[in-house]
C-alpha cells in the first residue's frame, strides 16, 4: 500500500517504507502513481504528467542539467527515464522551434517531441524560471501524452538498477496505481522491437544545401545536435533512412555519417551489411556515433553485446588509446553518453582496425578507428561529442571529420598538372 498526502509520500522498496519530504508542491488534485519494477519493487508517488500508464525499460541518468534534451533524445525511445538529480523542472521547457539554415535544423531540443516513455523524479518544480521557458515540465509532459511521477526516492531506484541492471518496469497512473503490480509475464521488453525503424526518417531530406562539402547521414535516431554540429561547419547534409542503400549514391558525397539510435544493433544488420560494402569499396571519410559506432564495428567484424547497466550521463571518462586530429593518445576526456550496448574488446582486433577509446570506469570499448596502414579514414565513438547537454571535450571531432571530407574533396577535384617540358630526343617519334 502507499500513502499520499500534501506533506509527504511513502515509497515501498523491498518491503520497507521510505518517507520523503518535499520542497515543492503541486496545485490541484493529487493523482496517485506507482513505478513498478519487474524485480518486485514498487515506488509510490504523485502523477504530474499524462493520465495514462505505460510499460518500458527503466533506466537512470546522472545528468544534472538538460532534462529537456534527454527527454527528446530518440535513444531513450520506450524507456522510463529516472533522473538522479533531486529537483527537475526548475527552468521549465523552451519553445521547441528554430529556423532551418546554416546554423539550425528546425528544433531547439533533440527532436520535435518527447521520446522517452515516462519520467521519474524525486521532486518536480511546479514553478520555473528561465528567459526562454514557455511552459512547465508538467504541462509539457501532459501535452505530449507522457506519464510522469514525482515523490520517488530516486536514490533507492538507482541503487536497485545498479545492483540488478537495467530493469523492465511499469508506470501506473490513477486507478492503475491502486491495483496490484503486473505479473512478470506482463512486462514488455522494448529491445525486442526494431526501435530504430520507429524513429528514423522514412524519406531523405536536406539541410543547408548551400554548404561547401556534401555529407550523407544515415539516421538511426539522430539527435538534432548532431545535424546542427554538421551544418554549423558548413556541411550540406542529406539525411537518409537507416537502411538506405548508400552505395547507390555514394559517389555524390564527400563523407558518410552514422548517427545514434535506440535499441539493439542486432536489429540493424541490414545497415551493417550495406556499410561493409561501402567500407571495402569507398575511400572517403566515415564517422559514427553511438549506434553508428556499433554498426561500424559490426561491419568491421566485431561483435556487440548488451551491457548489464549501460552508461547514461554527462560525466563518463574515456581514455584515448590513439591520436587522431584533435584527439591525443593518453589523454582522458569527459563525455556525454546514453547506451545499453557496446562492442566487444578482443585481441587481436580485426585487420585494419584498432581501439580508439576505452571507458575509464568499466573498460568497455568507447571508440574504434581504421589504422593508418589501411589507408581508410573511418572513426566510431560510443559517446556523444556533440553533447547537448554535457561536456564539450571532444566536440572538435566534428571539425576533424568535416575538414577531412573537405580535404579529400579538394584533392579529388584538382586537375592533373600537364607536363609541358620538351621530350627527350630518344622519346621523339621520327
Which residues form the catalytic set? Answer: 290, 384, 386
Q: Which three cell numbers stand for residue 110?
A: 533533440
Spatial separation of the C-alpha atoms in residues 40 and 46, rounded to whole Å: 20
Contact 348, 371 (CB under 8 A): no
3-state secondary structure labels for all residues of the chain: CCCECCCCEEEEECCEEEEECCCCCCCCCCCEEEEEECCCCEEEEEECCCCCCEEEEEEEECCCCCHHHHHCCHHHCCEEEEECCCEECCCCEECCCCCECCCCECCCCCCCCCCCCEEEECEECCCCCCCCEEECHHHHHHHCCCCEEECCCHHHHHHHHHHHCCEEEEEEECHHHHCCCCCHHHCCCHHHCCHHHHHCCCCCEEECCCCCEEEEEEECCCCHHHHHHHHCCCEEEEEEECCCCHHHCHHHCCEEEECCCCCCHHHHHHHHHHHHHHHHHCCCCEEEECHHHHHHHHHHCCCEEEEEEEEEEEEEEEEECCCECCECCCCEEEEEEEEEEEECCCCCCCCCEEEEEEECCCCCEEEEEECHHHCCCEEEECCECCCCCCCCCCCHHHHHHHHHHHHHHHHHHCCCCCCCCCCCHHHCCC
Contact 279, 286 (CB under 8 A): yes
Site of grid cell 521488453: 189
| Region of 64 on the Ramachandran plot (φ > 0 left; ψ -120 to 50 alpha; else beta) | alpha
Amino acid at each position: 500500500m502507499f500513502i499520499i498526502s500534501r506533506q509527504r509520500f511513502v515509497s515501498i522498496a523491498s518491503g520497507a517504507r521510505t518517507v520523503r519530504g518535499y520542497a515543492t508542491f503541486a496545485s490541484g488534485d493529487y493523482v496517485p502513481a506507482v513505478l513498478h519494477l519487474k524485480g518486485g519493487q514498487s515506488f509510490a508517488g504523485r502523477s504530474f504528467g499524462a493520465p495514462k500508464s505505460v510499460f518500458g525499460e527503466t533506466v537512470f541518468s546522472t545528468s544534472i542539467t538538460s532534462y529537456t534534451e534527454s527527454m527528446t533524445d530518440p535513444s531513450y525511445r520506450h524507456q522510463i527515464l529516472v533522473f538522479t538529480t533531486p529537483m527537475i523542472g526548475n527552468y521549465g521547457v523552451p519553445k521547441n522551434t528554430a529556423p532551418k539554415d546554416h546554423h539550425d535544423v528546425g528544433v531547439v531540443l533533440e527532436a520535435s517531441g518527447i521520446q522517452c516513455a515516462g519520467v521519474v523524479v524525486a521532486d518536480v518544480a511546479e514553478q520555473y524560471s528561465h528567459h526562454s521557458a514557455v511552459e512547465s515540465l508538467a504541462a509539457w509532459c501532459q501535452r505530449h501524452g507522457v506519464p510522469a511521477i514525482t515523490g520517488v526516492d530516486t536514490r533507492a531506484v538507482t541503487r536497485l538498477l545498479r545492483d540488478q541492471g537495467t530493469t523492465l518496469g511499469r508506470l501506473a497512473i490513477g486507478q492503475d496505481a491502486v491495483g496490484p503490480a503486473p505479473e512478470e509475464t506482463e512486462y514488455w521488453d522494448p529491445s525486442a522491437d526494431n526501435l530504430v525503424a520507429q524513429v528514423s526518417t522514412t524519406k531523405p531530406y536536406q539541410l543547408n544545401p548551400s554548404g561547401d562539402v556534401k555529407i550523407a547521414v544515415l539516421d538511426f535516431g539522430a539527435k538534432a545536435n548532431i545535424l546542427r554540429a554538421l551544418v554549423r561547419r558548413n556541411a550540406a547534409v542529406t539525411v537518409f533512412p537507416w537502411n538506405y542503400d548508400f552505395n547507390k549514391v555514394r559517389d555524390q558525397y564527400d563523407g558518410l555519417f552514422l548517427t545514434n539510435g535506440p535499441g539493439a544493433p542486432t536489429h540493424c544488420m541490414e545497415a551493417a551489411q550495406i556499410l561493409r560494402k561501402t567500407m571495402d569499396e569507398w575511400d572517403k571519410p566515415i564517422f559514427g556515433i553511438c549506434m553508428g559506432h556499433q554498426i561500424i564495428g559490426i561491419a568491421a567484424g566485431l561483435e556487440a553485446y548488451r551491457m548489464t547497466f549501460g552508461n547514461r550521463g554527462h560525466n563518463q571518462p574515456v581514455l584515448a588509446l590513439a591520436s587522431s586530429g584533435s584527439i591525443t593518445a593518453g589523454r582522458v576526456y569527459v563525455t556525454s553518453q546514453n547506451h545499453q550496448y557496446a562492442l566487444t574488446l578482443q585481441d587481436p582486433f580485426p585487420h585494419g582496425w584498432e581501439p580508439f577509446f576505452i571507458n575509464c570506469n568499466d573498460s568497455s570499448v568507447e571508440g574504434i578507428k581504421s589504422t593508418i596502414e589501411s589507408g581508410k579514414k573511418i572513426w566510431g565513438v560510443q559517446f556523444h561529442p556533440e553533447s547537448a547537454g554535457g561536456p564539450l571535450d571532444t566536440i572538435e571531432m566534428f571539425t576533424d571529420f568535416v575538414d577531412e571530407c573537405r580535404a579529400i574533396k579538394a584533392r579529388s577535384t584538382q586537375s592533373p598538372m600537364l607536363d609541358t617540358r620538351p621530350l627527350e630526343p630518344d622519346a621523339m617519334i621520327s
